[in-house]
Chain A
């Protein structure tokens, strides 16, 4: 069964750090580009970051550049998002998302909630 399962969300104070994980199953993880997309409460979708199949190429939204790091471990079928210097505006549900060579987002996880609050 195709599945992406995020974990690691929680409540963190402004300036703090958090590491999200996404466990993939049911498909060949290393064949796919992987993304993080977030959604603030009651708001729309915002793309956050992408990593290529082998992890050699990464891109970030300007809003997180220099603070967040996307990475992957293909031997563990797992995607990560290291989030540092967190701000209130980073509060959102973070989705792990797959895209193939066609680049559209064809598989989404259920998301993990990150709340940045003092």
Chain B
């Protein structure tokens, strides 16, 4: 199984500042035949199901604000929130869908400083 490791486990950022969450996979999730990284990011607010933010490592889902940016390739990935808003308080998960079983990172809790 591919192990996904996020860092940090929790993060406190001031409103309007940048937040950066990292995700590392135990093996590459880059599929060479189509040059796509099978990596997604989800946001989960308290009492709600997860919501897809980013897929193919850097493609923003429809309706997701452009302050959310995904980057990286191979085994190292980053989710960046360029200017933190109050509504961004949530737990963020990365996920690989390169191979079954799909696996998630342990989550990063993002709070306001």
Contacts and interface: CB of A to CB of B under 8 A. Distances in A.
A105 B40 contact: yes
A102 B56 CA distance: 9
B90 to A, nearest CB: 13
Interface range for B: 20 to 34
A81 B76 CA distance: 34
Given A47-B104, A108-B50, A102 B55 contact: yes
Interface of A: 35, 44-47, 50, 59, 61-62, 95, 99, 102-106, 108-111
Nearest to A61: B101
Given A45-B93, A105-B97, A108-B50, 5 more contacts: A44-B104, A59-B100, A102-B55, A103-B97, A104-B97
Contacts of A45: 42, 50, 93, 95, 104, 107
Contacts of A50: 100, 102
Nearest to A102: B55
Chain A interface, DSSP helix/strand/loop, else mixed:
strand
Give 10 closest A-B pairs by Cβ, nearest first: A104-B55, A108-B49, A47-B102, A103-B97, A45-B104, A104-B40, A44-B107, A59-B100, A44-B106, A106-B52
29 contacts: A35-B102, A44-B93, A44-B107, A45-B42, A45-B50, A45-B93, A45-B104, A46-B104, A47-B101, A47-B102, A47-B103, A47-B104, A50-B100, A50-B102, A59-B101, A62-B101, A95-B49, A95-B50, A102-B55, A102-B56, A104-B52, A105-B42, A105-B95, A105-B97, A106-B52, A106-B61, A108-B50, A108-B51, A110-B49
